[in-house]
Amino acid sequence: MHGYERRTVVKKINSVALLIIAILLLNLIAILPGCRMNVAETGSTITGRSVEAPSGDGVPFIRVLLAGDNDTRFRVTDSDGYYTMFHVPKGNYTMTFAWFGFELFSTSVAVTENDLIYTVGLPQLSSGLEGFQGTINDVNGSISNATVRLIYPSGAIAQTESDQFGAYLFENLPDSEGVIVVAQADGYVSQVIEDIKIGFEGTRILDFELNPVVAPEVGRLFGTVKDKDGENLVDVYIGVFPAGTVPSILAIATAEVLTDETGFNIPKVPAGSYTVLCIKSGFAPESEIVVVENGGEYTFSFVLDTEEEIWRQSTRIGE
C-alpha cells in the first residue's frame, strides 16, 4: 500500500519538475538574442458598409485605403456597399474613403488585439427639411435613369435617379455648405459642380446638360475572375486606369465595373495604354497592363489568392 502511494508521489514530483524545467527553458530561449520563438499573429478584421440616403442602399465603387505602421490595403466596396480586410496586423492606421476623385472621409483606427472585428464605414446622412431638384438633359432632350449624387462635407452621400422626363428630386435633406453634386449617365461625360449650398438662401434647383462620350477609336476588354479552385468570383471590382496613373483612391478610372456570374465586359475603352486593376474583399489584388487599339478585343483571366493564403504564406516564411 505504502509502496504504491510512494511511487505515485514520485511520479507526480517528477512530472512537476519536468514542467518547471520546460518553462524555464522556454523563458531562457525567449530572452536569448536571436532565439525568439516565431508566434504568428492572426491580426484582426476591418469591415464596413457605405450607404446612401434616403434608401439606405449600399454604395458601390467607394474606394477604401488603409495605411499605417504595419500594413497598407486598398479595397473597393461591392454592389451592396461592403468591404472587408482580413488579418490586419496590430498597429495604428489611417482609413480614407474616396469616390470619383473626392476624398469623402478619413479616420484613425488602432488595431490593438488579434481576432477582433473593427467596423468602419462612411457617416450616414441625417434627415432635414430641405429640398433639391433639377433636370438631366442632353442636346436632344431629357435623360432618364441618370444618377445624381450629393456628397456632403462629412462624407455622407445622398443619391437619386432621374425619371422618364429627366427630372430628379431630393427631399428631407439637411442644410449644408460645400456640397458636391455629381451627375452621371451611361454613355455621357459625368458633370461635377462643387461648393453648393443647400438650405436657406441656398441652391434649390440645378439643371444639367450632359455631353455624350466621343471616342472614335475604341477597343473591348472582357474576361473572368476566379479563385484558386477555378470558381468564378462575382462582385469583383475591375478598374481601368490610364498608363502613368497610379491606381489610387483619388485616381479617376477610365472605366470601372463589378463582375457578375459570367465575368466582366467593358465594350468601349478608348485606344491607349492602361492598367487593369482587379480587387475583391478577402483576396489579394491583381493587375495587368494592356495597350488598347481601335477595334481590338482583349481577354483577361484573373486568378486571385485569398488573404488567408497570403497570411499563411507570410507566417511560413517567418518560420
pLDDT digits (tens, 9 = 90+) for 264-302: 999 989 999 999 999 999 999 999 999 999 999 999 999
Residue 178's closest CA among 149, 204, 153? 153
C-alpha separations of 157 from 54, 82, 105, 287, 307 in Å: 9, 15, 11, 29, 30
Residues ≥6 apart with Cβ < 8 Å to 262: 224, 232
Task: Give the closest residue to 83 by CA, choosing from 275, 249, 246, 198.
Answer: 249
Residue pointed to by grid coordinates 469591415: 47
At residue 316, the pLDDT reads 64
Task: Note the pLDDT of residue 249.
Answer: 85
Residues 6+ apart with CB under 8 A from 49: 58, 77, 80, 81, 82, 83, 121
* Residue 113 backbone dihedrals phi, psi, to 5 degrees: -135, 165
Q: What is the pLDDT of residue 317?
A: 52
What is the pLDDT, as a whole number, of residue 70?
Answer: 86
The pTM score is 0.80
**Structure confidence at residue 23 (pLDDT):** 35
CB 302 within 8 A of CB 234: no
Check residue 160 and give its pLDDT: 95
Nine-digit cell string for 151: 456628397
CB 287 within 8 A of CB 304: no
Residues in the chain with pLDDT values less than 70: 1-40, 316-319
Q: How far is CA 148 from CA 25, 26, 185, 298, in A?
A: 67, 63, 9, 32
59 exposure class (CB count in 10 Å sphere: 0-12, 13-18, 19+): buried
pLDDT, position 30: 37
Residues 6+ apart with CB under 8 A from 109: 46, 66, 68, 92, 93, 94, 95, 118, 120
Contact present, 288 and 300 (Cβ < 8 Å):
yes
Alpha carbon distance 224, 245 (integer Å): 24
Burial 233-243 (b: 16+ CB within 10 A, else e): bbbbbbbbbee
The Cα 278–Cα 266 span in angstroms is 14
Q: Which residues 6+ apart lie within 8 Å of 95 measured at CB?
A: 46, 64, 65, 66, 106, 107, 108, 109, 120
